[in-house]
Structure 1
Amino acid sequence: MAAEGTARRVTKRRLRTRADLLDAAFTVFAAKGFGRVSIEEVCEAAGYSRGAFYSNFATLDELFFALYRERAELIAEQVAGALALDGPVLDVPAAVDRVTEVLLLDLDWLLVKTDFLAHAARDPAVARTLLEHRARLRRAIADRLARARWRSGPPAALGGVDGAAHAVVAAYDGVTVQLLLDQDVERARTWLKQLLTALLTDGGATAVRAE
């Protein structure tokens, strides 16, 4: 029993160390950019030794990928939650408001995500990781739209719910490029809300009914 208790404490402490390293890395990567950060800088920011780092990650690349996956999965879950229905009617503008709040909340995340995109563009294996996340995000959006009864059908110009999901992600990508340059979160949020509402309603209807 004593050995089991010790093992649980060690596991819990290691998980805490890993989480601390990921949190510190997020801050350092956002401030300096991937490729300009050393293992020592991450360790210093987290308050751990190099030994603690290597007990959790083999390389800085591995830590970066783990950080990206963790944050990307959280975003996908938040988007799916923002699209969840509270009642029998889905109000498209209200749902867009919730999604936009999630997607545009963190400029540091956009900086880290952009670094990951540039890195992925030069490495097919890394690109697959990014494509998997984007596919998961699109599926979360498409699945929610597919469970709704549209008043006049999904926007025809987008080719149905799959096309609508692709359009949502593409609109977000476009808006965040400007956001990264001018740092104007409120302007970007307003722009994205208007764009997504127009895309998902053909510029007209404001609600869809759940099946």
Structure 2
Amino acid sequence: MTTRPVRRPSRAEVRRQLLDAAATVFARRGIDAASLDEVAEAAGFTKGAVYSNFGSKDALVDALVDDRTSAYVDIGLESVAGVDGDLDEKARLLGEALTRAGDEQREWQLLFLELWQREIRTPSPDGSLRAHRAELRTRIADAVRAHTGSGPSVGLDPDELATVLMALTNGLAIERLLSPDDVPDDLMGRVLSALISR
């Protein structure tokens, strides 16, 4: 009887599992309280796998922020890609997609709040969270320009509109975490539509 060799996960698969486990463990325990041993165990690996993929806890946190930020932007862009509707329709679709993403990535909302508090209380020397937010703002502003030309006529340029969109997304996601019934599924889409049609 021959046994099949056990397939080892690729480096990308190990990294993905570690990032997902880190999101869960950090959200449940808090970044400072959680250990890399806990992250590794949750992912089904040893702590050595964490170090070989990320090098340190800070690097893991940074990679997690980058991963989740990119995922949010991709969700938003995919929701309006190929939509032939007008800006009002795109705004509604974008709002609904971001609301769903917030529901599906509840752990990320908790982590973002913790990261925000840490950055306000003790700014990191490299300003990594601020850098991630600045990059996110730029990507959103570029997407606004791509879909609206110079930008919708709401009295805001695309960079300002990106800041408002980020604040609105975070604020409504936080309120929805606390009191889901007070933030209907379509609220963000309706607010974005109203803002754009102003």
TM over 0.5: yes
1:17 matched to which residue of 2? 14
Deviation at 1:79, TM superposition (A): 1.5
Match of 1:57 in 2: 54
Structure 1 unaligned residues grouped into runs of 5+: 1-8, 203-211
User: 1 CA distance for matches of 2:93 and 2:140?
Assistant: 15
Instruction: Tell me the CA shift for residue 59 of structure 1.
Output: 2.1
Number of paired residues? 188
Range with bigger deviation, 26-35 or 77-86: 77-86
Q: Deviations over 1:114-166 (max 9, x none)?
A: 1222222212335x32233323333333333324459xx5112xx23332222
Report the secondary structure of 1:56's partner residue.
Answer: helix
Q: Sequence identity of aligned pairs in percent?
A: 29
Deviation by residue 1:74-132 (Cα, 9 ceiling, x = unmatched): 11122222233422634233343334333443211101121222222212335x32233
**d(CA) in 1 for partners of 2:147 and 2:19?**
38
Structure with a larger share of its residues in strand: 1
Deviates more, 1:71-80 or 1:103-112: 103-112
Q: Distance in 2 between matches of 1:139 and 1:112?
A: 22
| Match 1:86 to one of 78, 83, 88 | 83
**Equivalence for 1:114:** 113
The equivalent of 1:179 in structure 2 is: 176
Match of 2:197 among 194, 201, 204: 201
Q: Distance in 2 between matches of 1:139 and 1:30?
A: 27
The alpha-carbon distance between structure 1 residues 101 and 123, as it changes in their structure 2 partners (threshold 3 A), is same
Task: Call closer, same or farther: CA 1:48–1:84 in 2, change over 3 Å.
Answer: same
1:130 maps to what in 2? Answer: 129
Determine the C-alpha separation between the residues in 1 that align with 2:64 and 2:196.
Answer: 32
- How does the TM-score come out when normalised to structure 1? 0.73
Residue equivalent to 2:4: none
Residues 51-79 of structure 1, C-alpha deviations (whole Å, 9 max, x = no match):
32322233222212111211111111222
Report the equivalent of 1:191: 187
TM-score of the superposed pair, with normalisation by structure 2: 0.77
Unaligned runs of 5+ in 2: 1-6
Picking from 130, 142, 165, the partner of 1:168 is 165
State how far apart, in whole Å, the 1-side matches of 2:148 and 2:75 are: 22
What letter corresponds to residue 56 of structure 2 in structure 1?
Answer: T
